[in-house]
Amino acid sequence: MILTTTDAVPGRTIQLTIGVVRGNTVRAAHMKSDVTAWMKNLVGGEVHEYTKLMAEAREQALDRLEAEARAKGADAIVGLRFVTCEIAEGAAEFLAYGTAVKLAP
């Protein structure tokens, strides 16, 4: 599956626009990670626990995005975007979305 943030795939022609596809996940940090992150906040620097959590969420959202596109017969996803937002205290949604397309042979 070709993924691109641009509206086209360089060197390829879009034969058919299938439509919007998306993949998302909602994640919450484990209490131990939250305490460690809170302490890290006091001294500054990267909060590795949250970085790891967001990386895992991004990969799961991408996997779900690709699965939906494949199920619709797509070869590529163009206009790929990511969005994240807080759902509740300690829980965040990570959303990946784009346009599924079929490429000319």
- Tens of pLDDT, residue by residue over 41-90, are 666 677 777 788 889 999 999 999 999 999 999 999 999 999 998 888 77
Q: Which CATH class name applies to 2-28+58-103?
A: alpha beta
Q: Which residues of 9-28 are buried (b: 16+ CB within 10 A; e: fewer)?
A: beeeebeeebeebbbbbebe
User: What pLDDT, on the 0 to 100 scale, is given for residue 41?
Assistant: 63
pLDDT tens track for 90-99: 788 999 999 9
In terms of pTM, does the model score above 0.85?
Answer: no
What confidence score (pLDDT) does residue 67 get? 98
Structure tokens at 81: 């975007």
Predicted local distance difference test score (pLDDT) of residue 40: 61
